[in-house]
């Protein structure tokens, strides 16, 4: 019997200008091709230490506990929540998009009591709204999203950490979509745990979740380390804690693994560690300010080009993320057909949208390795051509000209 062995993996070379994943920096791909090391090999543990140091720079923090959770960005989110929450813990979530809903979904399974500040999609919460929420609900933990790719808005976080500390609340931020593209100013914000991913502005593949943990959050998590099986209430007065409800995502065990103790937990995902290390090295080499400026320039040019086509951008300019732009699908145009033609005729992927925005906007990203002038220009030129093909009357060339002008040419 002949066995079908299928073809070798040889994907088409698409330009991924959606909300992620995006094209991976070639240096990251090359790093991933390196061979394995034993997990306690001194070369390997040295790579782990270097990765911790690099991600302190990426997260703009001095936090000792800055490491990788193996798995996609959601692994970091789940590790943070399961390690900060126990049944009965009070969690306040700022929900302004799909990823805010994901936080509730995870916290619900943990058995936390959930309170929310619900913000219309396309807007952000004010510091006052967050403070009012904290005073009204007395949470143990506050959780929010920095850049929610579902709405393309970035939540301002200055002052949030200080506010939380004043009210004795631990804080968590999902910065998956902004890490590497906008300042994720962990120490300036004063927040306790921040997590990210590689497949957005870090220019890596999905599969590793960088995380940074403040000393006070680490102390809290470590205090749950020796709790034996059997659930205790979060509200006990003797200070006992419930055991962390996950083994794989137990941050106390993961910290022990990344500490000098090197207590065996999982096998570090070696190729992903190489990828995460190289992605951070590229960022540090480029310089954080230069990298953020590159993303901001791509975003401004994309916005200018889309507007020059007569299209309307989604959400407020003031709170727009610098790496993914939401734009309304014009009246009478089939958004999915445009996406298909972009892919088939130009090998360019742009994003659709979820929930209340489904069928109403496209999401066009310029993240990481793709936050580049020529890729912005190619995307705009292609979109303009496709819209003309679809019978949407446009003057040819205006979008690219406007983007070039925004780049100062």
Residue 107: CB minimum distance to ligand PLP, A: 15
Other CB atoms within a 10 A radius of the CB of residue 354 amount to 16
Q: Which of residues 331-360 bind ligand PLP (CB under 6 A)?
A: none
Residue 176 lies near ligand PLP (rule: CB under 6 A): yes
Q: How far apart are CA 378 and CA 15, in angstroms?
A: 10
Q: Which is nearer to ligand PLP, 161 or 365 (CB)?
A: 365
Residue 308 lies near ligand PLP (rule: CB under 6 A): no
Strands 170-174 and 348-349 turn out to be unpaired
Look at residue 359 and give its three-state secondary structure.
Answer: coil
With beta carbons less than 8 A apart as the criterion, state whether 300 and 159 touch: no
Q: Which stretch binds ligand PLP (CB under 6 A): 66-74, 272-280, 284-292, 355-363?
A: 66-74
Could you tell me which of 108, 250, 97, 117 has the C-alpha nearest to residue 174?
97
Q: Which is nearer to ligand PLP, 74 or 339 (CB)?
A: 74
Provide the mask over 243-262, with x wherever binding to ligand PLP is found by CB under 6 A and - wherever it is not: --------------------
Q: Which is nearer to ligand PLP, 74 or 224 (CB)?
A: 74
- Residue 238 — φ and ψ, nearest 5°? -85, 5
Q: Tell me if 363 is assigned to a ligand binding site.
A: yes
Residue 177 lies near ligand PLP (rule: CB under 6 A): yes
Residue 303 lies near ligand PLP (rule: CB under 6 A): no
Q: Which two tokens stand for residue 180?
A: 């590497």
With beta carbons less than 8 A apart as the criterion, state whether 19 and 362 touch: no
Burial class (CB in 10 A: 0-12, 13-18, 19+), 95: buried
With beta carbons less than 8 A apart as the criterion, state whether 391 and 337 touch: no
With beta carbons less than 8 A apart as the criterion, state whether 209 and 197 touch: yes
Residue 406 lies near ligand PLP (rule: CB under 6 A): no
Match 């137990």 to its residue by tokens: 250
Q: How far apart are CA 346 and CA 341, in angstroms?
A: 7
Q: Which is nearer to ligand PLP, 58 or 386 (CB)?
A: 58
Q: Which two tokens stand for residue 107?
A: 């916290």
- Residue 269 — φ and ψ, nearest 5°? -70, 90
Residue 140 lies near ligand PLP (rule: CB under 6 A): no
Q: Which position among 86, 148, 349, 406 is part of the footprint of ligand PLP (CB under 6 A)?
A: 148
Residue 333: CB minimum distance to ligand PLP, A: 26
Residue 143: CB minimum distance to ligand PLP, A: 12
Q: Which of residues 70-89 bind ligand PLP (CB under 6 A)?
A: 72-74
Could you tell me which of 163, 121, 183 has the C-alpha nearest to residue 323?
183
With beta carbons less than 8 A apart as the criterion, state whether 213 and 59 touch: no
Q: How far apart are CA 102 and CA 104, in angstroms?
A: 5
Q: Which residues pair with 114 in a beta bridge?
A: 91
Q: Which stretch binds ligand PLP (CB under 6 A): 50-58, 124-132, 141-149, 210-218?
A: 141-149
Q: Which is nearer to ligand PLP, 21 or 190 (CB)?
A: 21
Number of residues that bind ligand PLP (CB under 6 A): 13
Q: Report the run of H or E that residue 211 belongs to, with start and end.
A: strand 208-213
Q: Which position among 61, 149, 212, 325 is part of the footprint of ligand PLP (CB under 6 A)?
A: 149
Q: Which is nearer to ligand PLP, 63 or 208 (CB)?
A: 208
Look at residue 114 and give its three-state secondary structure.
Answer: strand
Look at residue 257 and give its three-state secondary structure.
Answer: helix
Q: Which is nearer to ligand PLP, 147 or 305 (CB)?
A: 147
Residue 177: CB minimum distance to ligand PLP, A: 3
Q: Which position among 55, 59, 65, 99 is part of the footprint of ligand PLP (CB under 6 A)?
A: 99
Q: Which is nearer to ligand PLP, 19 or 161 (CB)?
A: 19
Residue 214 lies near ligand PLP (rule: CB under 6 A): no
Binding-site members are: 363
Which residues are near ligand PLP by CB under 6 A? 20, 72-74, 99, 145, 148-149, 174, 176-177, 197, 206
Binding-site members for substrate are: 363
């Amino acid at each position: 019997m002949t066995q079908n062995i299928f073809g070798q993996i040889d994907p088409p070379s698409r330009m991924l200008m959606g909300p992620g994943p995006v094209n991976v920096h070639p240096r990251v791909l090359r790093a991933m091709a390196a061979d394995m090391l034993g997990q306690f090999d001194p070369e390997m543990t040295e790579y782990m230490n270097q990765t911790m140091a690099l991600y302190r720079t990426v997260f703009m923090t001095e936090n000792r506990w800055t490491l990788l959770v193996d798995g996609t960005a959601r692994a970091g989110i789940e590790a943070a929540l399961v390690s900060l929450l126990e049944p009965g813990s009070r969690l306040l979530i700022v929900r302004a998009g799909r990823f805010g809903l994901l936080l509730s979904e995870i916290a619900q399974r943990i058995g936390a009591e959930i309170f929310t500040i619900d913000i219309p999609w396309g807007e952000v919460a004010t510091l006052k709204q967050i403070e009012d929420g904290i005073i009204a609900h007395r949470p143990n933990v506050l959780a929010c999203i920095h850049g929610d790719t579902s709405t393309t808005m970035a939540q301002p976080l200055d002052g949030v950490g200080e506010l939380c500390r004043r009210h004795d609340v631990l804080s968590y931020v999902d910065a998956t979509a902004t890490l590497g593209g906008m300042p994720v100013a962990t120490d300036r914000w004063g927040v306790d745990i921040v997590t990210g991913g590689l497949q957005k502005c870090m220019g890596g593949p999905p599969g590793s979740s960088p995380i940074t943990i403040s000393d006070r959050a680490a102390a809290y998590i470590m205090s749950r380390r020796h709790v034996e099986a059997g659930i205790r209430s979060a509200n006990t007065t003797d200070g006992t804690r419930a055991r962390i409800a996950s083994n794989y995502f137990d941050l106390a065990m993961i910290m022990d693994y990344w500490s000098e103790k090197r207590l065996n937990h999982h096998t570090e995902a070696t190729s992903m560690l190489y990828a995460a290390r190289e992605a951070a090295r590229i960022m540090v080499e480029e310089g954080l300010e230069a990298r953020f400026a590159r993303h901001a320039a791509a975003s401004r040019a994309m916005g200018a080009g889309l507007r020059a086509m007569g299209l309307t951008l989604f959400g407020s300019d003031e709170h727009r993320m610098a790496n993914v732009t939401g734009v309304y699908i014009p009246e009478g145009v089939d958004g999915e057909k445009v996406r298909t033609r972009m892919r088939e005729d130009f090998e360019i992927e742009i994003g659709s949208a979820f929930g209340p925005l489904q069928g109403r906007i496209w999401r066009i990203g310029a993240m990481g390795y793709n936050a580049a002038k020529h890729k912005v220009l190619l995307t705009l030129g292609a979109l303009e051509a496709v819209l003309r093909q679809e019978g949407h009357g446009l003057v040819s060339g205006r979008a690219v000209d406007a983007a070039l002008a925004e780049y100062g040419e």
